[in-house]
Structure 1
């Protein structure tokens, strides 16, 4: 008896925009353009977006999807008209693991935040009367993952978003137009309801079972981050990707420290649960400034920076620096007693310039004490963004089969 013939349906066609924001890029969707089943959180939405990116991919290439097989390029964004008073758009960000069949919605992408304002303007999600013919359009963004406000100042020329310009960002090959971002109250109540320092300490000894004890700063500012001293890991802070990403033993050690930090910060109850939220907390290490050569071959001089910083994203050393981690670096650098502040030479500061694998970055942070606790009111940085492609992304129509709605 012949087996029944399977009917192969046409692919779904979904309007989408492929954008670079800062040193990241991802696939942007308007909420109303998604298939009905994917317009709300749940397994159907995750199944669709994971397939868009091309995960899970045991080959680690994302050949059959829009992802770039790195933490910086395996991202999705959903934008909608804001339901929050005083905001233009709601911005939801998803990080797609390369080999995992899920999406981590636990944090924000500070780099892609710079592309949200341009996307909103271009798609008519900002009132036309507020978009100047020439000048700057201010877009108020509700970051739905963590419940925070981001204010984007987007250049406009001839009534359209200006994308080209002379602003250079280390980690991005070509110059573009500068977009200033303000992250308001980045540590207010923290990502999961805690204080800026969820353990109550600017620095403490973090005990990692079977690994060791490390001087660390655990902070919620922009994103939860576990900061370590580079020297405690045997590093000097000038390392580039190959030195760490090809060292499987060190990556495993860093993941164990990250998991212990997640427990200590109250983000998970047990270290074994950290694998299910690889996006947060981040883990980073810092060191006093010294000369080095960036990944592009550009010299970075110790005299031009306040400290060195390296961060792990989705289990690998980031090629530059995550935008949210940059907020955390600037905030921690402004607070005496943190390992970041110590690496920067101590004292007080409201602006920090740090060296990362691709070069340098300048970030400002406004912090103060209130009620016996440190609070941050604002972090400021500049990024750029550009549309790479727009049209429709295609996804096999069977993507929803066997998936709960």
Structure 2
């Protein structure tokens, strides 16, 4: 029997916001993996340790959660006015596919920092804040990262605290420009043309829902309408196959209504989008860390599922959807926050509190959003090489 050696590929393991993933420079990938296709998917799956019927990803870099089963490719931008192109792959933990249908807002923070680490962007100024213009290649949108630098290097340590991340770090401000979907009908941000829809869900009946495409396609429902308070933690939802099936049914119904899939069966191969989230008015609750969150310190409660499980904090792209929907009077998110016009919102998630903002405007009866803003942090955890068996991609 012939035994093949492992292939070494330069890589960086990096935390961005409340996610972490394996980052690659495009030119460091094997030639067959520099373009979309099966070799690239197979490589990323082997790096992460998927598909894994044990759902543990022991034989890879993944952490067996949707927040840690991710790969990123960064390269010099081919688009005018941008510094780097950022391509994101959400690797399924136990199924045989990589989802390229959306962005990761948390790892967008890492994309800005990695652009400097990788030498694609020379920091100006040497001390201060370096602006990195990122082309998000999955969804065709611009993200501007404001990265702190010292001595021409990314400043990673700092006193910025992000609920869901154990240690403080340096703050990176992200601007998601024109985050809503583009469409000629003027209603693409709300694919159905409505701020609130009546969504028919098999087995659950008719639910009020806000279907929005800003940051990432997201289906919002009221927590009370599905028997929840909005203060649930991961173990309450993720330990119940019945509850997870209920949320998947809502997600599939929303995906069909938004036109993202044509048949319910297609949802199996599109787990990353849309997201499903439920909202409720502000209330006291205990975060997963034991921290007491007061209703007076937040505007509303939001819980969201990613890749079929309740997220431990909040996805960055879903945060953009929350910010946008909160800024538009009449959506379920806006109503849960108390209604009225607003440019920022503080929401409680399982790990604590996050503040996000969006600039929305209405013209000719249609809503547009120019940008959404949030703060995150990023830090390199390890750099060097990943190894994968030759012949596995």
TM norm. shorter chain > 0.5: yes
* 1:255 paired residue among 248, 252, 264: 248
Does residue 67 of structure 2 align to residue 72 of structure 1? yes
**Alignment-derived partner of residue 216 in structure 1:** 209
1:188 shift after superposition:
4.2
TM value normalised by structure 2: 0.98
1:194 shift after superposition:
6.2
1:247 shift after superposition:
1.2
Which structure 1 residue ranges, 5 or more long, are not aligned?
A: 1-5, 401-405
Give the distance between the partners of 1:297 and 1:330, measured in 2 at CA.
Answer: 26
**Alignment-derived partner of residue 165 in structure 1:** 158
Structure 1 residues 95, 267: CA separation in 2 closer, same or farther (over 3 Å shift)? same
Give the distance between the partners of 1:398 and 1:133, measured in 2 at CA.
Answer: 43
SS in 2 for 1:111: helix
**Alignment-derived partner of residue 172 in structure 2:** 179
**Alignment-derived partner of residue 385 in structure 1:** 378
SS in 1 for 2:146: strand
* 1:32 paired residue among 27, 49, 52: 27
Does residue 233 of structure 2 align to residue 240 of structure 1? yes
* 2:149 paired residue among 149, 153, 156: 156
**Alignment-derived partner of residue 344 in structure 1:** 337
Structure 1 residues 239, 319: CA separation in 2 closer, same or farther (over 3 Å shift)? same
TM value normalised by structure 1: 0.95
1:113 shift after superposition:
0.4
Give the distance between the partners of 1:21 and 1:146, measured in 2 at CA.
Answer: 19
Q: How many residues align?
A: 392
| Contact 1:55/1:100 (<8 A) preserved | yes
Does residue 58 of structure 2 align to residue 57 of structure 1? no
1:221-370 alignment, distance < 5 Å: 221-370=214-363
Greater mean deviation of Cα atoms: 113-122 or 167-176: 113-122
Give the distance between the partners of 1:366 and 1:82, measured in 2 at CA.
Answer: 27
| Contact 1:188/1:376 (<8 A) preserved | no
| Runs of 4+ residues deviating >4 angstroms | none
| Contact 1:352/1:364 (<8 A) preserved | yes
Give the distance between the partners of 1:119 and 1:328, measured in 2 at CA.
Answer: 25
1:60 shift after superposition:
1.1
Which structure 2 residue ranges, 5 or more long, are not aligned?
A: none
